Amino acid sequence: MLRLRGARGMPKMGISPRRNAFKRLVMAWQYSDKTKILFMNAVNGNENSHFGEIADADGVGEHGSIACGDAMKFFFKVRRAENPVDDVIIAAKYSTFGCTSAIASSEALCEIIEKGEYTPIEALKIRNEDIVKFLEGLPSQKIHCSVMGAEALEAAVADWAQKRGVDLEALGVHLESKEDEGSRLVCTCFNVTESELKRRIVELNLHTIDDVIGAIKAGGACGACQHAPGGIQDLLDAQWGVQDDAALDNVQTMKLSPYQLSKRIETVLEEDIRPMLAADGGDVEIIDIKENLIYVDLTGACATCPGASGTIQHVIEKKLRDKVDDALRVIQI
Which positions are annotated as active-site residues?
Answer: 68, 145
C-alpha count within 13 angstroms, C-beta hemisphere, residue 302: 25
DSSP 8-state symbol, 200: H
CA distance 221 to 275: 26
Write the CB contacts of 36 (distance below 8 Å, at least 6 apart in sequence).
26, 27, 104
Q: Is 198 helix (H, G, I), strand (E, B) or coil?
A: helix
DSSP 8-state symbol, 242: P
Write the CB contacts of 186 (distance below 8 Å, at least 6 apart in sequence).
192, 193, 194, 197, 218, 225, 230, 231, 232, 235
The C-alpha torsion from 210 through 212 and 217 to 223, rounded to 10°, is: -60
Check if the beta carbon of residue 101 is closer than 8 Å to that of residue 32: no
CA distance 196 to 111: 26
Q: What burial letters (b/e) apply to 256-291, b meaning 16+ CB within 10 Å?
A: bbbbbbbeebeebbeeebeeebeeeebbbeebbbee
Beta strand 293-300 pairing with 329-332 = parallel
141-113-12 Cα angle (round to 5): 60
Check if the beta carbon of residue 77 is closer than 8 Å to that of residue 90: yes
Q: Is 223 helix (H, G, I), strand (E, B) or coil?
A: coil
Nearest residue to 256 (alpha-carbon basis) of 195, 308, 326: 326
CA distance 22 to 330: 16
